[in-house]
């Protein structure tokens, strides 16, 4: 994810870019995902998130 997107997410959530980075890395590690796309697919399959 690009720095700009992390800054936008951080601004919306009231968190720093470093905090967003930290949490994204942890989510990807816990899901054993090599990309954000893989993480989303795994999370959907596990029922962690639901499609809109």
Match 């994204």 to its residue by tokens. Answer: 24
Backbone angles phi and psi of 19, in degrees to 5: -65, -40
Convert the pLDDT of each residue in 27-37 to its tens digit. Answer: 999 999 999 89
Q: What is the pTM of this model?
A: 0.74
Contact between residue 2 and residue 16 where contact means Cβ atoms under 8 Å apart: no
Dihedral sign for Cα 40, 46, 48, 51, please.
positive
Contact between residue 43 and residue 30 where contact means Cβ atoms under 8 Å apart: no
Which ranges of the chain have pLDDT less than 50?
none
In the prediction, which pLDDT does 1 show? 66
Cα–Cα distances in angstroms (integers) from residue 2 to residues 8, 9, 26, 40, 50, in the given order: 10, 11, 17, 17, 24
């Amino acid at each position: 994810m690009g720095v700009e997107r992390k800054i936008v997410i951080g601004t919306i959530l009231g968190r720093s870019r470093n905090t967003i980075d930290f949490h994204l890395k942890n989510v990807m590690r816990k899901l054993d995902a090599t990309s954000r796309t893989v993480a989303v697919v795994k999370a959907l399959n596990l029922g962690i998130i639901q499609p809109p």
